[in-house]
Amino acid sequence: MKIMLVDDSRTMRNIWKKVLGKMNETEITEAEDGAKGLLAVEEHGPFDLILLDWNMPNMDGITMLKKVRGKNISTPVIMVTTEAEKPRIIEALKAGASNYMVKPFTPDALQSKIKETMKKASALA
């Protein structure tokens, strides 16, 4: 499964990698802001899943999401938010996110959220 992680914190990406590493056969690409993420989608896509953080320099999560959807790319996107940003989740969904994840999350929670999202995505395909 080709997964892209978009988050400006290297440590954060490391944590995710650690969790995802426990899942089978994952190939992980990283991007440290929305602009680089967009570039990665164009050059290394298509991906099977994108994990997207909200607050980033150069281009934040929601902007990148809108642009990706604007290019008619329907890759499932899980938006990662903090507890305080929960009320804005509906905004992310309207912008095209497939699902959302509130951090901090347990590895189990992340895994099941990913499974759930992928299942839905394949059902729609």
Partner 1 sequence: MTKPRSIIDSVIKDITMEQLLEQIEKTVSRFVGVEADDLAGLADLHSQLEVVRDQAGQSSSLAANQREIVHTASLEAGNLIEKIILQEVDDVVETLRIVGQTCESLHTLLEQISQGDSEAVVEFPAELKISQGDEKPESTQTVPEKPKISLPENVDEAIFREFLSSLPDVLTNLESAILAAEKDTNQENRNTIAGILHNLKGETGLMGLQEISGFCHETESLLIGAGSSFPAEKLFAAKDWLHDAMNQLSTGEVDSESAGTDNQIETADELHSQNEDIAIAENDIPLITDFINESNEHLESAEEGILGIEENPEDTETVNSIFRAFHTIKGVAGFLNLKPLGELAHATENLLDLARKGNLTLAGVIIDVVFESIDAMKHMLVILQQAMDEHQLFQAPDQSLLIERIKMCASGEIPTPRLGEQLIEQGVTDRSTVKDALREQNNESPDKKLGEILVEKKCVDPGQVKQALQNQSNQAKTTAQKTNKKIVNESTIKITTSRLDSLINMVGELMVTQSMVGQDLVNYLDTNERLERNSRQLNKITRDLQELSMSMRMVPVQGTFQKMARLIRDLSRKAGKEIEFKMEGADTELDRNVVEYVADPLVHMVRNSIDHGVESPQQREEAGKPRTGQIKLSAFHQGGNIVIEIADDGKGLDRERILRKAIKNGVVKEGQELSDQEVYRLIFHAGLSTAEKVTDISGRGVGMDVVRKNIETLRGRVDIDSTPGQGTVFSIRLPLTMAVIEGQIVTIANEKYIIPLLAVERSLRPTPEQMSSIYGGKAETIMIHGDLLPLIRLYKLFNIEPRATDPCEGLVVIVADGENRCCLLVDDLADQQQVVIKSLGSYLGSIQGVSGGAIMGDGNVSLILDIPGLIKLAQVSNATPALAS
Position 18 contacts partner 1 (CB under 8 A) = yes
Position 55 contacts partner 1 (CB under 8 A) = yes
Position 112 contacts partner 1 (CB under 8 A) = no
C-beta atoms surrounding 30 within 10 Å: 17
In this structure, what token pair is assigned to residue 115?
A: 């499974």
Position 8 contacts partner 1 (CB under 8 A) = yes
Q: Per-residue x/- marks for partner 1, 62-91, CB under 8 A?
A: --------------------xxx-xxxxx-
Q: Hey, CA dihedral for 116, 119, 122, 124, is it positive or negative? A: negative
H helix runs in the chain, sequence order: 10-20, 34-44, 61-70, 89-95, 107-124
Residues that bind partner 1 (CB under 8 A): 8-12, 14-15, 18, 55-57, 82-84, 86-90, 93-94, 96-100, 103-104, 116, 120
